[in-house]
Structure 1
Amino acid sequence: MSYLPNLFALSTWYYPKVRGPSVAMQPRIAYQQQQQQQQQVAAEGEEEEIHAASATADGLLLLPPQLEELEIWYCRELSLHHPNSKAGGTGGGLQGLRCLRSLEIFVTILLLKFALLLSSLRTLKFALLCSLPSPLQVLQLYRTKGRETPVPFSNLTSLTELYISTCEGLRVEGGLWPLLAHGRLTKLEVMETPNFFVGCEPPPQPQEGGIPVPLCSSSSSNLQDLYTDDAAGVLAAPICTLLSSSLTTLSFIDTTERFTEEQEEALQHLASLQHLRFDNCEKLQRLPTGLHKLTNLKSLVIFSCDALRSLPKGGLPSSLQKLRLKYCSAIQSLPKDTLPSSLQVLEIRSCPAIRSLPKVDSLPSSLRKLDVRFSDSDELRGQCRKLRGIIPVIISIRASYLTEQNNHLNQIILMKGFKIIEGPFQA
């Protein structure tokens, strides 16, 4: 590949013999430009072939130095800092890729070593690592299971988006607080990474003679969007206080059954929160009390929370504009006085236990759209018909509608002479 002077993007998959990358000394375009020295070039070519063969035998992947995008997938013996530096390259590792902008490496081993010094790197998707370039803006970590893996975030002053998934044992060197409090991070997603938020607290305040000394600079977070399956880790007073003025979107996908009193109080610190979503919280039996105290909340989405039976007794925020209930099989009704006067969109989709709406007088006059899909309740659909002319947009579709349409489509296919084949398939 070092003979491809115009190669700028490379993706490699399933190379079990590759043990490490190395960067060629210079692009082989020089080989073509020196035609007047054919004998010398031929000799150099033979020497390079020997180097390439040696590199292949040693498991080195020789890369052209002009690469801008590199993907290495499922190379189980991969080590980014290869000890061999004698195979026709500038040395083991990726230090010679000065033009690299994007690096994606996905492995399933626990022995990955990283010695990367790239000042131009902007996007990195990585499985296991131990040092990161400071200009990095987007970082994705996948599958670092098996042992404690330290990740130094302290120098990532340009990082704006961080995605972490299935990283059991991941540990942040220096703590998460500096990244949240003093960095540029605006979007954070943490999934299947237990204890990631544990210990996220402000540094102790210095004292002189037993008297606290004010810090020179106050903590101010830029984080706006947070998605996680660790509600207990996020809903801690120090974190929510730090994010109180910046966080606008919060999404939970969690196995929590009930929120503790401390967690509910911490949630109320998020004064800037505008969008709140509970996504596939299958065991959740009760929403946090005190949601009505989130005075800037505009949108509440409850998706596939099968154990949830009702909305919070304390009511909803007076600022709420959109309420979406989707695939919540246990919610039976919308109690009176829970729908705020600011509500503009009410969506009830695939919630079979909801058989009726509150009376017309109990519905907010601000309501502009009522979306009741996939319900077979005659009473509910009858109410929707009566609300025509009162609410500008009403959508009402029976749950059996899709089944009827599928049956109708199958009949058309059969009438036209087409044949529907179901698996398993055989050659």
Structure 2
Amino acid sequence: MPLLVMSDKVDVALLPPSLENLEIDMSPELSAAWDLKLQEHGQIIPLQPHPSLEELDISNLTDKDQSRLLQLFPTITALYIWQSPELTSLQLGYSKALRELKIIDCGSLASIEGFGSLTNLRSLAVSNSPGVPAFLELLSHQQLASAEILSRLETLQVGDGSVLTVPLCRRLASLRRLSFWSWDSRRGETMIDLTEEQERALQLLASLHRLDFWHLPNLRSLPAGLRRLASLEWLDVEDCPGVARLPEMGLPPSLTRLHVRRCSEELSMQCKMAARENLDVHIDDLPVDYVII
């Protein structure tokens, strides 16, 4: 579905008022048509914001188009930006209702303007966009309102361990779920192991309840200090064939779910042996019975 039908105005009114989800490929052709209409109207086009859109999914977003696009959808609670290599700075001042932000394959993105206005943000996902972890790290050192947004995050999905720094993890006081997840392992992150510094930072996530490792073909081991995550209840490992064993220190006593899919036979066997009365173990979605010996 095309986003804009050019007439005397940017005719968002042609979209159904009840529309909740919209996907847009901001192609060069669409952008050029928009530029032409702006020229015809002296760079001024009356805007009619859509009244109820909740989820906006955009690809090929550019610096030039983002402001005039995002201001049309002030009600969105979820924003997904994909495959936008030309985007260098994301401006979110029009998107104050956001609860979920996902940034995938934006290799030139270096900053996020208006981050401090996202007081409702609870979920952030970043993959194959190396400038975003660097932005978050810089933000974590600042005593600004925008840095306080980090303390409200409940879910964080990242492509590798680079986001795990001590200053940032100290800010993530409400984080309940952390997922390491590769969007495209052929072109994106190649996570191998957590460094010692990243392991130390992970221990600062005192409220962490769930930890995921998904689609990481180069991952060789799970965090050595996993047992020290005192609040961890759920560990999920999927498509990580290089992981051959559980950490030597063992699993956290608080763990109640251990799910493993499409991993090595060695890891699967160790997980079966770890089954206990209060630990629900699933291997390839099949439950492992706990047997009293």
Q: Same fold (TM over 0.5)?
A: yes
CA 1:269–1:95: 2 relative to 1, 3 Å:
farther
Is 1:223 aligned with 2:153? yes
Q: Which of the pair is proportionally richer in helix?
A: 2
Q: Matched residues in 2 for 1:86 and 1:295: separation?
A: 60
Q: Matched residues in 1 for 2:47 and 2:237: separation?
A: 49
Q: Matched residues in 1 for 2:73 and 2:276: separation?
A: 50
Deviation at 1:203, TM superposition (A): 4.7
For 2:8, the aligned partner's letter is: A
Q: Matched residues in 2 for 1:320 and 1:280: separation?
A: 22
Alignment identity in percent? 29
Match of 1:394 in 2: none
Q: State how 1:172-251 maps to structure 2 within 5 Å.
A: 172-173=111-112, 178=116, 183-200=119-136, 201-204=139-142, 219=148, 221-232=151-162, 234-243=163-172, 245-251=173-179
Q: Matched residues in 2 for 1:199 and 1:325: separation?
A: 33
Is 1:12 aligned with 2:2? yes
Could you tell me the TM-score, scaled by structure 2's length?
A: 0.76
- Is the 8 Å Cα contact of residues 89 and 113 (structure 2) preserved in structure 1? no
Tell me, which stretches of 5 or more residues in structure 2 are unaligned? 183-189
Is 1:158 aligned with 2:97? yes
- Is the 8 Å Cα contact of residues 121 and 153 (structure 2) preserved in structure 1? yes
Q: Matched residues in 2 for 1:95 and 1:118: separation?
A: 15
The structure with the larger Rg is 1
Q: Matched residues in 1 for 2:95 and 2:245: separation?
A: 43
Q: Matched residues in 2 for 1:259 and 1:159: separation?
A: 31
Deviation at 1:301, TM superposition (A): 1.0
SS in 1 for 2:266: coil
Q: Matched residues in 1 for 2:271 and 2:23: separation?
A: 53
Match of 1:77 in 2: 29
For 2:239, the aligned partner's letter is: S
Is 1:292 aligned with 2:230? no
CA 1:306–1:117: 2 relative to 1, 3 Å:
closer
SS in 2 for 1:24: coil
CA 1:324–1:98: 2 relative to 1, 3 Å:
closer
- Is the 8 Å Cα contact of residues 275 and 297 (structure 1) preserved in structure 2? yes
1:104-146 Cα offsets, whole Å, 9 max, x none, are: 5755485853453887724xxxxxxxxxxxx54322212111x
Deviation at 1:155, TM superposition (A): 6.2
- Is the 8 Å Cα contact of residues 100 and 118 (structure 1) preserved in structure 2? no
CA 1:95–1:238: 2 relative to 1, 3 Å:
farther
SS in 2 for 1:78: helix
Residue 63 of structure 1, aligned match among 11, 16, 29:
11
Could you tell me the TM-score, scaled by structure 1's length?
A: 0.54
For 1:231, the aligned partner's letter is: G
SS in 2 for 1:113: helix
Deviation at 1:198, TM superposition (A): 0.6
1:283-315 Cα offsets, whole Å, 9 max, x none, are: 111111111111111111111211111100111
